[in-house]
Amino acid sequence: MLTSRKTFLPFALPSISEDAIEEVAQVLRSGWVTSGPKVKQFEMEFGDFVGSKETIAVNSATAGLHLALEAIGLTANDAAITSAITFTATAEVICYFGAEPILTDVDPIHNLMTPETLEATISGKCKWNGKELTSKKTGKQIKAILPVHLAGYTCDMEAILSIAKKYNLYVIEDAAHAFPAVHKNKMIGTWGDFTVFSFYATKGITTGEGGMITTSHKEFADRIRRMRLHGINRDAFNRPGWYYEVVDAGYKYNMTDIAAALGVVQLKESHGFWERRTEIAKHYNVEFSGLKGVKLPKEDANGIHSWHLYRIEIDPKIAKIGRDTLVEELKERNIGTSLHFIPIFEHPYYKKTYGFNRKDYPNACLMYDRSVSLPLFAGMTKTDEKDVIDAMKELLA
C-alpha cells in the first residue's frame, strides 16, 4: 500500500493571489463595500471577455437563473425543461415559481442534454399544438430550456437553439462549469437568450459567492438589474439624491464591491488558471489511458473545454474495484473526490413532489453509479498530481 499524503488534497481549491488580496483590501479601505464602482468594472470587463452586450453581476448563479426565469415571465402555469444531471439549483429555481421542472436524460459519453435527449423528452412528455408546447402530465405551458454545460464540456447549442426556435422557447444556459469554455469558435456567454455563470469557491474564477448573467436582450437586462435589488429603479451608487422608487417587488441578489474586486483580478488571471487545469487534465489522460474499466473525459470536439472538473467513470465489471470503494481508498490516502452530480430525480423532494421515475433516465442512472471527480485545480503542485496518479494506478492498474 502507498504511504498516505501527510495533508489532505481536496478535489478543488480556489487560487487567491496577493494581487487579489490587495484589490479587496483597497475596496475595504475605500469605505464603499456594497454594490458600486467595482461591480460596474467587473461587469464591463467580464462582458468584454466573453463578448456579451449585457452583463449583470449577482450574488450567486442560483440568483442569476432565478432572475432570468423571472424576466421571461415564468409563472405557476408554466414549465421548463432541464437536464437530469445538474446541481439542484437548476431545477429548484423552476420550483420557486410553482412551475413544473421536466427532466431530460443525458448522453452516455459526456452526460449532457443533447438534441436527441431533448427531442425524446419533448415527444415523450410534451404535447405540441402548433403554437404552444405543454406538459402531458400537467398541461402547463413550457416556456424555457435550461441546458447544462457539465464539467467544462459544452452542449450542442446550435441544435438546442434550433429546437427552441421550433417550439417558441427561451434558452437559459447553466454555465456554472463553462468558464472560459468555447463552443464552435464562440465563447459560452453569447449563445442562448441568457447565460448564467457561477463564481463559487470551486469554479474557474471565484468571488467567494457570486454569479454573472449575460444576455443580448437589453429589455431583459434592464429588468434583471431592477429585480436584483428590490425592484428599485436606481442603483444606490448612481442615485443623484435620496429619492428612489420601487417599481417592482424585487429581490436582494446584488453583488458587493468586495466580491467584485476579487473577480476583477481573478478574471485577469483566468487564462493561467485554465492553462494549468488543462495541463493536469491532459497529464491524467495520458497516465490513466492504460487503466482497465476507466472511462476518461475527452477534449471538447466542438470547441474548447474549460476543464472545470476531471470526471471519470468506473465500470465495476471490468475495473479492479468499484467507484465507491475507489472513493474510500483515495480518502484513506488523503485524496479527496466528489460526485457531479446526484441526479435530480434521486433527491427526496423531487421524487415526492414530481413523481420522477428513474427508469426514464437510464444514462443518468448509469452515470450516478459510476462517476467520480478527481482533484483538479490550478493550485495543484506536481507532487499533488503525482500522488493522485500513483494512487489511481495502484488501485486500478
Q: Does residue 50 share a domain with residue 151?
A: yes
Of the three residues 246, 267, 288, the one that is the final residue of a domain is 267
Domain membership of residue 109 (yes or no) is: yes
pLDDT of residue 232 exceeding 70: yes
Cite the active site residues: 203
Q: Does residue 221 share a domain with residue 79?
A: yes
Q: Does residue 258 share a domain with residue 206?
A: yes
Q: Does residue 348 share a domain with residue 201?
A: no
pLDDT of residue 199 exceeding 90: yes
Q: Does residue 279 share a domain with residue 230?
A: no
Q: Does residue 126 share a domain with residue 217?
A: yes
Q: Find the CATH number of the domain harbouring 285.
A: 3.90.1150.10
**CB contact set of 55 (below 8 Å; sequence gap of 6+):** 43, 44, 46, 47, 212, 213, 214
297-340 pLDDT per residue, tens: 999 999 999 999 999 999 999 998 999 999 999 999 999 999 99
Domain membership of residue 89 (yes or no) is: yes
Per-chain mean pLDDT for the chain? 96
Question: Is the pTM here over 0.95, yes or no?
Answer: yes
Please count the structural domains in the chain: 2
Domain membership of residue 349 (yes or no) is: yes
Domain containing residue 368: 270-396
Q: Does residue 300 share a domain with residue 178?
A: no
Q: Does residue 356 share a domain with residue 372?
A: yes
pLDDT at 244: 87
CA dihedral 197, 16, 333, 327 (to 10 degrees): -10
Q: Which CB contacts under 8 angstroms, 24+ apart, belong to 87-92?
A: 87/176, 87/340, 87/341, 88/344, 88/347, 89/61, 89/62, 89/65, 89/174, 90/65, 90/146, 90/148, 90/174, 90/344, 91/344, 91/350, 92/62
Q: Does residue 78 share a domain with residue 117?
A: yes
234-283 pLDDT per residue, tens: 775 666 678 889 999 999 999 999 999 999 999 999 999 999 999 999 99
Domain membership of residue 10 (yes or no) is: no
Q: Find the CATH number of the domain harbouring 127.
A: 3.40.640.10
pLDDT at 397: 85
Phi-psi region of 67 (alpha: psi -120 to 50; beta: other; left: phi over 0): alpha
| Alpha helices per DSSP H over 289-335 | 323-332
Question: Which comes out higher in pLDDT, residue 197 or 4?
Answer: 197
Domain membership of residue 11 (yes or no) is: no
Q: Does residue 293 share a domain with residue 212?
A: no
pLDDT at 386: 98
Of the three residues 239, 267, 295, the one that is the final residue of a domain is 267
CA dist 121 and 361 (Å) reads 10
Of the three residues 204, 238, 267, the one that is the final residue of a domain is 267
Grid cell for residue 264: 476583477
Domain membership of residue 4 (yes or no) is: no
CA dist 181 and 302 (Å) reads 10
Q: Does residue 161 share a domain with residue 41?
A: yes
Q: Does residue 189 share a domain with residue 218?
A: yes
Domain membership of residue 9 (yes or no) is: no
